[in-house]
Structure 1
Amino acid sequence: MIKHLSWLLAGVLLSSCAASKDVYIFTSFHEPANEGLRLLYSYDGYQWQDLNRTFLAPQVGPSKLMRDPSIARGPDGTYHLVWTCGWKGDTGFGYASSKDLVHWSAQRFVDVMSQEPTTVNVWAPEIFYDAPTKQYFIVWASTIPGRFAKGQEAEDNNHRLYYTTTTDFRTFAPTQLFLDPGWSAIDAVVVPRGPQDYVLVVKDNTRPNRNIKVAFGPSATGPFPSVSAPFTGNFTEGPSVLALPNKQWLIYYDAYQEKRYGVMKTADFKTFTDVSDQTSVPPGHKHGTVFRAPRKTLKNLLQTAPTGAPATTSTSRTHD
């Protein structure tokens, strides 16, 4: 009962903070992904403005790229950033931390797949803080040729999801398989909603699907059985989930064939309403993560960045 009350109170506090003191920040990158971390901001979760500069240039990994940047804010206020270092040939992802999103720690390469020498890639690491276990979860997609059943995709494009955990970003738990739904899966977002109530939003990367689905599980590590039918059309990827104060959620995703960002609104992750025409996303924005930050953090960011251009909707392709 106490645990349930703590989750309820935490939800109330988060909603209150979002309404009064917090803003939404959306991590981003621009192709060809060699410039580094970009940030968008929004007061309502619908209309986004670009801070119009890079805040961290990539320095780790063979390709020195930064794709799919994901940030989670810890209980002490520290922002932890992970990102994709390259398309192929990497066995890990990049990591850095910051107290203000302007000044960053030294970057580190976190090796998570070298125990599998045939690993093709490490794509789209997604980070979140799991309050019940007091640790950070990082989930990503990798291909190990010949390991799993496949659809029409080639063996070097047959992904499954893996994860690790950490409390200090110095030591990481051994990599484990996170999800094998029987098909190639990438771009996973884990959404904690309450005690023993987690949602997984994930891309089915098989041909001809390439769309986004959901599943439900009792913990951050699942299990996540019975993955749903898709709630987006084909040729969609890179979901980012945003919690609104009124127990509603927005799911942003890249409809890359249509060269636009789509947005679905949901209260239960079972029924979805397309609200794309109510939102605006600056041009060039690519696969990132939405998180909350204090308004004073945004004020500091605005003081360090040039005036952003008016927001318009645009997108281009990330993964295939």
Structure 2
Amino acid sequence: MKRMSLWLVLFSLLLFQCQSKISKEDDQKGLSSFMPDVSSDQAFSAYLMVYFKDSDHSLHMALSPDGYTFTDINQGKAVIAGDTIAEQKGIRDPHIYRGPDGIFYLAMTDLHIFAQRDGLRKTEWQRPGEEFGWGNNRGFVLMKSSDLIHWSKANVILSDEFEGYDSLGCAWAPETTFDESKGKLMLYYTMRWKNGLNKMYYSYVNDAYDKLLTEPKLIFQYPKEVSYIDADITKVGEQYHMFYTPHDGMPGIKQAVSSKINQDYKYDSLWYDSEPEASEAPNVWKRIGEEKWVLMYDIYGIHPHNFGFRETSDFKHFEDLGHFNEGKMKASNFSSPKHGAVVHLTQSEAQNLANHWGLEMNFK
């Protein structure tokens, strides 16, 4: 009996030591050790949309538990003011991406097109419009976060990053993805030289998400000499679907597909939006737990601005879902969003974000 008691004591001490060791190791690993498996959407139960407004050139966020009704987390007001993070005192074109490390990567155009009107600049553009074109800017705002509340920030100015880029005309609409073959984050964006044609390029980004590692390289060549902008890449199976906006007549949404993330995209002449007015800024996001994807885009040719939505299961046939508050998709407490992007969240991530902003929403 004494031997049995001594054995139980020794076993309890050993179990306590093992548990203490595991706890210490988890503490050292930090939040990343508890991140969900991002290779599957089974861990997710909510959607986060980022967007901006022309009225304030700042970052806005909206949450949705079902992917149909989105509620702005700050009653339609900015969550991060553009004048606090951007060289030009304003941002446009926000895009959010969850990396394979579970970290959120937020990329935005550093540009304020109404800075002169708002007393932030003495001239219409940062540089002469006759030489550098409409809305000329020089770079991006890059931010990263593990909780969507606390963010690091970097201002990446291409003419400071690389020699010979003083004649850069614009750098717009950056989006982030992960190149599995390189094991690196990749930023892709619209760029032009002086007042020339806008085209789509890519660069690799360092792990700190504050510096471009490689010079811009063309990601796709449109078959006509026109501007083409706003690339958005989604991997489905072994294929990469890139939606973008060519200014080939009425601007709208086209698709190109490749088996490689940054090259060999095949031109497709079809238009994938269904709008009679000009559209841009496509963003594709998956419905959680379903083999369905939503193509969302900014219809800037109508007033007030609105988003359009189409749904597909094969990237060939698309069902119209209408516009915000004009069909299945609802914006409960905001209007006139511009250039949005959507990412999946876990229940705890969505609830923590809602609680932080005092938004009464429950995510199951």
TM-score of the superposition, structure 1-length normalised?
0.81
Q: 1:222 to 1:267 in 2, by over 3 A?
A: farther
> What secondary structure sits across from 2:140 in the alignment?
strand
Alignment match of 1:25 (pick from 48, 53, 57):
48
Identity across matched positions, percent: 25
| Residue in structure 1 matching 2:292, options 238, 244, 248 | 248
Residue 89 (structure 1) shift:
3.6
Structure 1: distance between partners of 2:187 and 2:353: 26
Q: Secondary structure of the equivalent of 1:128?
A: strand
Which has more radius of gyration?
A: 2
Mapped partners of 2:269, 2:290: distance in 1: 24
Secondary structure, counterpart of 2:40 in structure 1: helix
Contact 2:154 2:210 in 1 (8 A): no
Q: Which amino acid aligns with 2:97?
A: A
Could you tell me how far 1:253 is from its partner in structure 2? 1.1
CA separation of 1:90 and 1:26: change in aligned 2, threshold 3 A: same
Larger mean Cα displacement after TM superposition, 290-299 or 255-264:
255-264
By how many angstroms is 1:138 displaced?
1.2
CA distance in 1, matches of 2:310, 2:179: 24
Match of 1:165 among 191, 204, 224: 204
Counterpart residue number, 2:97: 72
Could you say which residue in structure 2 is the equivalent of 1:263?
309
What TM-score results when the alignment is normalised by the length of structure 2?
A: 0.71
CA distance in 2, matches of 1:84, 1:166: 16
User: Match of 2:108?
Assistant: 83
Task: Give the 5 Å matches for 1:63-212.
Answer: 63-86=88-111, 87=113, 88-105=135-152, 107-112=153-158, 115-145=164-194, 156=195, 158-168=197-207, 169-171=209-211, 172-181=213-222, 182=224, 183-195=226-238, 197-206=239-248, 208-212=249-253
1: CA distance, partners of 2:196 / 2:92: 18
Measure, in 1, the Cα distance between the counterparts of 2:321 and 2:258: 26
Which residue in 1 is equivalent to 2:42?
Answer: 16
Partner of 2:329: 279
Kept after mapping to 1: 8 A contact 2:200/2:220: yes
**Counterpart residue identity of residue 288, structure 1:** G
For structure 1, list consecutive stretches of 5 or more residues without a partner in the other structure. Answer: 1-9, 146-155, 310-320
- Measure, in 2, the Cα distance between the counterparts of 1:222 and 1:280: 36
Q: Which runs of 5+ in 2 are unaligned?
A: 1-36, 114-134
Question: Larger helix proportion, structure 1 or 2?
Answer: 2
Q: Is the 8 A contact 2:155 2:210 kept in 1?
A: no
Q: State which of 39, 63, 85 in structure 2 corresponds to 1:41.
A: 63
Question: CA offsets, 1:80-130, max 9 Å, x none?
Answer: 11100115342211111111111111x211133553332211111111234
> In the superposition, relative to structure 1, how do residues 223 and 230 fare at CA in structure 2: closer, same or farther (>3 Å)?
same
Q: Which amino acid aligns with 2:50?
A: T
Task: Read off the aligned partner of 1:189 and give its amino acid letter.
Answer: D
RMSD: 2.3
CA distance in 1, matches of 2:358, 2:338: 20
